[in-house]
Amino acid sequence: MKLLKNILCIAAVISSNLGHAQENQKMNQFINDLMSKMTVEEKIGQLNLVTAGEATTGSVVSTDVESKIKAGNIGGIFSMTTPSKIRKAQELAVNNSRLKIPIIFGMDVIHGYKTIFPIPLGLAATWDMPLIQKTARVAAIEASADGLNWTFSPMVDISRDARWGRISEGSGEDTYLSSRIAREMVIGYQGDDLSKNNTLMACVKHFALYGASEAGRDYHTTDMSLHRMYNEYLPPYKAALDAGAMSIMTSFNDINGIPATANHWLLTDLLRDDWKFNGLVVTDYTAVNELIDHGLGDLQKVSELSLKAGVDMDMVGEGFLTTLKKSLDEGKVTLEEIDRACRYVLEAKYRLGLFDDPFKYCSDERAKNEILTPEHLKLAREAAGKSFVLLKNDNQTLPLKKQGTVAVIGPLANTGANMPGTWSVSADLANTMSLVDGMKSALGNKVKIVTHLGSNLTDDAALQERSTMFGRTIPRDDRDPQQIIDEAINTAKDADVIIAALGESSEMSGESSSRTDLNIPESQKRLLQALLKTGKPVVLVLFAGRPLTLTWENENVPAILNVWFGGTETGKAVADVLFGDVNPSGKLPATFPQNVGQLPIYYSQKNTGRPLAKDAWFQKFRSNYLDVSNEPLYPFGYGLSYTNFTYSNLKLDKNSITKADSLKISVAVKNNGNYDGEEVVQLYLQDLVGSQTRPIKELKGFQKVFIEKGKSKDIVFTISEEDLKFYNQQLEFISEPGKFKVFIGTNSRDVQEAEFDLID
C-alpha cells in the first residue's frame, strides 16, 4: 500500500514537472518568436518602468507617458489605477505600438488596497499565518479588480533598529518569523495561478539588507559579514522566492562597497546562480540614477553596471531607456544582456496571461463589486484586533465595561487619515473612520464618548508638518499648550475612564521617516501626565509604526495597548479589544528597547566572551552599559492577554537524536484566567557548542492556539536536523553534532528549557 502510494506520488510529480516543462516550452517559443521581431530599441523599451505620477517617492516623475507607450518605450506603469484609466493606457500599447506588447501595471499594495489592514509590523504581531495569507489574498482581489496585476510587496527586510522608519513595513527583527510571513504573503497575492484575473505578481523587496542601514538612517550604507547575511538577513527573501514570488526589487543601499542595484554578486551569483531565481528583477525608484551619487559614474556608466549586474527593469529613472543603445553601440553592454532583461519582462507578462488578454484585469463590474466589501472589512477588523499588543494591564484595568462615559483624548483620537498607517497609498483617507468614530460605531449608545485634541502631535510645528504629509493631517492648535490640556481635562471631568490616544502619526514611520528620539513627543507626555493626575483610570492606546521607548509610560500608566496603525477598521477594533469582545493576543515582532542607546537590539544576540551573569544588571568588565541594564523594556514575542497562560511539563520524547530522527517536544499550556483566549506558544533553540559562535536563542517554531478558560492543551513541536542547521564559515548549510537547548514559552524571555544532543 505504502509502495503504491509512493509510486503514485512520484508519478504525480513527474507529470506535473512534464506539464511545467511543456508550459515553459510554449512560453519560450512565443517569446523567441516575439523577440525575433523586436528592434533593440523596442527591447530596451520593455525595460522601462514609469510611474503615472500619482504616488511618488522621489523627485523624478515620468513624463510623456502616452507618446512613449506608442513608441514602444514603456514596459510597465505603476501607480495608475481603475479599469478605465488602465484600459486606456493598455489600448495605446496594444493598438498603437508596433508590436502590440501589453503593459504590466504595478502598485505598492502593501497592507491592503482599499480595505486597509494593519501595517506589516502589526500584521506580524498577529503571528497568525492563515490570517496574514487571507489579508494578502483580499489585497490581490481588490487591486486586480481595479486593474492592477503586480504589487511591490512583500517587504521582508529584517530590521533591528527602530530608528529606521521602514521597520513599520516589514515583519520585524526575526529571521524565522519573517520568512514564514513572506511565504504566506506571496501565496496570498499570487494564489495558485498567476494567470487568474484575481491574482497579482508579488515583488519581494528590498533586495537586500536594506533594514540594516547604518544608524537607522534611511538609504544609508550596509556593511555586513557573509555569516550574518546568510544566517539572519537573507532567508526571508529566499523564503518568498521559494514560495514562488515572480519578481524581486533591488534595494537602494550600498552592500559592502557595491550598491545593491549594481551588485553582480547579489543579483547574479547569489540570486540567479545559487538560488536559481527565474523571475523579474526590478530596481527601486530611480535606484539606477542614484548610483551616480553613490559614486559609480555617470548615467551611461551606472546603467551599464546595473544591467550587467542583473537588473532587468529600471524604475522611473530611464537610465536604461536613454543610454543602453549607446552602450551597445560602443560595445559596453552586449545584446545578450539586453535580451536577457527583455525576456524576463516578457515572461512576467506571459505568466500573467496579458498576451492572451491584455484587458483581463479591466472589469468595471469587478471594481464595483469586489472592493471594500463587508466581508473584506470584517477581515480588516479581525486582523486589526489581533495585531494589537497589550503591553501592560495593572489590576485588570482592561477590559472596560460597556457603560458610563469614556473620554478619548489626544492628537490621534480624531484623525481618520492617520488610521491606515504608512504605505497605504490607495486608502480612501477621507472616508476612513477616526478612532472616536470607529469606537462610537462599534459601541452604539451603550457608552457615552467625549473627546478632545488634548495636545498637538508635537510642539514643533515644522516637525508636525513633516510627520503628517500625503494628506495624513492632524489638526493643530497653536494656543498655549497648557490651555489645550486644561480644556481636555475639563472635557474628561465626568468620564469614568480616560483613553489617551497618543503616539506617532502614520508618517512618523515609513520611508524617509527615521527618528533619533523614540519617546512619545513631549507635548503628548505632558498631556498624559495631566490625565494621570485626574486620578481616573487611564488607558494608553498607543499608535506606533515602530517600537517606541516607553520606560516612563510603563512605570506610570496602568494599561497600555499598542495598536500600531490598524487600517480601515482601527476604531472598531480598538473598541472590540478595550471592551473585551476580543481578547488581545498580539505578540511583539520586534524588541522594545528601554532607550535609543540600546539600538540595535534583538533577542537572538550572541553570548560574547564576557556575558553578564544571570540576573545581574551591571558587572565591571562584562558586556553591558554603565547607565542602563541590557534588558529590553519588552522582549521579542511579548504580549499580554486578559487571561493567564501557565506553562508546565516540558517534555522531550528522547534525549538525543541522529540526523535522520525527529524529536517531539511537548508542553502543557493552561488557561488559568477568566477569559477564553489565544496564546502564541513559542519555541526557541540554542546550539551550545560549535565551530562558530551562535545566537543564545533562535525562534524555530510557534503555534497560535485558542484555549478556553480553565482548559489546558498539550502543544507538540517536532524538530529535525533541518532546524539545527546554519551556514558555516564556508557558507555550507550544515548541522554540527553536540548539545542543544530548547526553550518554550510565552515570549523570548519567559521560557522553560531542556537539553538534547544531536549525534552522528
Binding site for ligand BGC (CB under 6 A): 57, 108, 152, 205, 284-285, 511
Grid look-up 489617551 returns 500
Least distance to ligand BGC, CB of residue 512, Å? 8
Query: Of 206 and 366, which has the nearer Cβ to ligand BGC?
Result: 206
Give the count of alpha carbons within 13 A of 691, CB side only.
14
Residue nearest to ligand BGC (CB): 57
SS3 call for 50: strand
Nearer to ligand BGC, 176 or 207 (CB): 207
Q: At its nearest, how many Å lie between ligand BGC and the CB of residue 511?
A: 6
**Other C-beta atoms lying within 10 Å of the C-beta of residue 708:** 12
Cell of 273: 546562480
As given in the structure block, the three cell numbers for residue 266 are 547579489
**Read out DSSP for 261-281?**
GG-HIIIIIIIIIIT---SEE
Cell of 508: 512618523
Cβ distance to ligand BGC smaller for residue 469 or 668: 469
Grid cell 519560450 — which residue? 28
Residue (151 or 746) nearer to ligand BGC, CB: 151
Least distance CB 285 / ligand BGC (angstroms): 4
How many alpha carbons lie under 13 Å from residue 734 in its C-beta half-sphere?
13
Minimum gap (Å) between residue 205 Cβ and ligand BGC: 6
Instruction: Using the structure block, give the residue that is written with the C-alpha cell 513627543.
Output: 521
Tell me how far apart the alpha carbons of residues 748 and 58 are, in angstroms, rounded to a whole number.
Answer: 39
The owner of cell 474628561 is 492
Q: Which of 254, 284, 437, 576 does the annotation list as catalytic?
A: 284
Of residues 507 and 723, the one with the C-beta less far from ligand BGC: 507
Contact status, residue 647 vs residue 668, Cβ threshold 8 Å: yes
Residue 221: CB minimum distance to ligand BGC, A: 16
HEC profile of 376-424: HHHHHHHHHHHHCEEEEEHHHCCCCCCCCEEEEECCCCCCHHHCCCCCC
Residues 6+ apart with CB under 8 A from 223: 214, 254, 255, 256, 257
Query: What residues pair up with 559 in beta bridges, in sequence order?
Result: 393, 539
* Beta carbon nearer to ligand BGC, 282 or 443: 282
Query: Least distance (Å) from ligand BGC to the CB of residue 515?
Result: 18
Instruction: State the minimum distance, in angstroms, from the CB of residue 699 to ligand BGC.
Output: 26
Nearer to ligand BGC, 103 or 657 (CB): 103
Across the beta sheet with 712-720, the strand order is: 645-652, 662-671, 712-720
In terms of C-beta distances under 8 Å and separation of at least 24 residues, what long-range contacts does 59-63 make, across chains too?
Answer: 60/286, 60/289, 60/316, 60/317, 61/316, 62/316, 62/318
In the complex with ligand BGC, the residue whose CB is nearer, 508 or 528, is 508
Answer for the pair 320, 314: CB distance below 8 angstroms, yes or no. Answer: yes
Q: Give least dist CB 568 to ligand BGC, A.
A: 21
* 284 is annotated as an active-site residue: yes
Helix (H, G, I), strand (E, B) or coil at 657: strand
Report the catalytic residues.
284
